[in-house]
Amino acid sequence: MANLKEIRTRIASVKSTRQITSAMKMVSAAKLRRAQDAIMQLRPYADKLNEILMNLSADVSLQNNVYAEVRDLNKVLIVVITSNKGLCGGFNSNVIKRSIYLAEEKYKELFKKDKVDFFVIGKRAFDYLRARKYRIIAEENNLLNGLSFDNASPVIERLMKMYINKQYDRIEIVYNQFKNAAVQVLTTEQFLPVAEDKKDKTEHAFTYEYIFEPSREFILVRLIPRSLKIKFYRSLLDSFAAEHGARMTAMHQATDNASQMIQALTLQYNKARQASITKEILEIVSGAEALKTK
């Protein structure tokens, strides 16, 4: 059994850790509120924009649009969105594992030919993939430090140009979608080419009537790039909110675990102290009896 000093030291250490995790939980909760408000405000706009896009494409084919051009797969880009910091449970590892699985399984033949690249947003994914020699063409870790639509736009435009210039024939995004503070949904989405959702087109084509100026074709050409930017920015906001939710949950669990450990160590300390006192009493009694005998 550990001596009393060692147990006291461990109790003090765990209490200090509990203070840190509790503080981190409160910080993440405050950041989560702001991030949650941002994604909740964007979702109705993004959904309505997509609804209008589907209504437009019901009568105007996307086949001739530069962003919807379906080509033979010769090269694929996977955009991985994680966080810059850890201590958020399996938030980062789940995204990294899904990205690697996507590269090595879904695009197995292209991966063997070094035709699958990674575009990384988040230091955690960058460090992991770089250490294992995966092909990383770019990293935008600083984007998460001041996340805004204006800051994200150049990155999104860069990805769109890569597709238009035929550097890549398909671009996919892997990220955590925010559901609530305790739940993050691991998501894989095709960013480019734009996929026509025939189900949505059928639903919306006969439900809404719009007057288009100057024409459906003109608006569709202008709307698709805007829709792509909003879609990607939504993924960033989802991931940002999910990160703080995952960290808040992880720190809450760590704080509870620390409290349980303190209780267990306190009980162990009391037992050790009681045993020490009992031993001392026995030694005193034994000494007294020895003196009486003499």
Angle between helices 149-164 and 216-293 (to 10 degrees): 120
Residue of 38, 88, 171, 250 marked active site: 88
Is residue 88 part of the annotated active site? The answer reads: yes
Is the Cβ–Cβ distance between 226 and 69 less than 8 Å?
Answer: no
Q: Are 32 and 244 in contact (CB under 8 A)?
A: yes
Non-local CB neighbours of 113 within 8 Å, separated by 6+ positions: none
Active-site amino acid positions: 88
